[in-house]
Structure 1
Amino acid sequence: MSESPSCCQCCTSFIFTLGLTSLFMWLSLRPSSPSFYIQNFYAPALNNTTNTTGATINTTISIDFKIKNTNKDKRVYYDALNITLYYPQNQSIPVGNTSVPEFQQGHHKTASKPVTVQPVEISWEDAVKNVSSNGTVRFTVYLATSVRYKIIWWITRRHRMKVHVDVNVDKQGKQIEEKHIKLKSAAHDGGSHRPSFSGLSAFFFVLLTVW
Structure 2
Amino acid sequence: MMVRMESTSDGEEAPRGYRRSAGSARGEARRRDLLERVTDDLAANGLVDFSLRRAARAANTTHKVLLYYFDGADDLLGQAMFRLRERRIDNGLAATARGHSTLAARVRAIWPVLMSDELGLRAIDQGVGLMMYDPARYARLAREGSRQYLPPLLAICPPGWSDRRKLEVAELILATMRGFLVDWRTTGETEGIEAGLDALVRALEREEAAEG
TM-score past 0.5 threshold:
no
Name the TM-score, length of structure 1 as normaliser: 0.28
Max Rg structure: 1
Higher strand share: 1
Structure possessing the higher relative contact order (Cα contacts under 8 Å, 6 or more residues apart) = 1
Higher helix share: 2
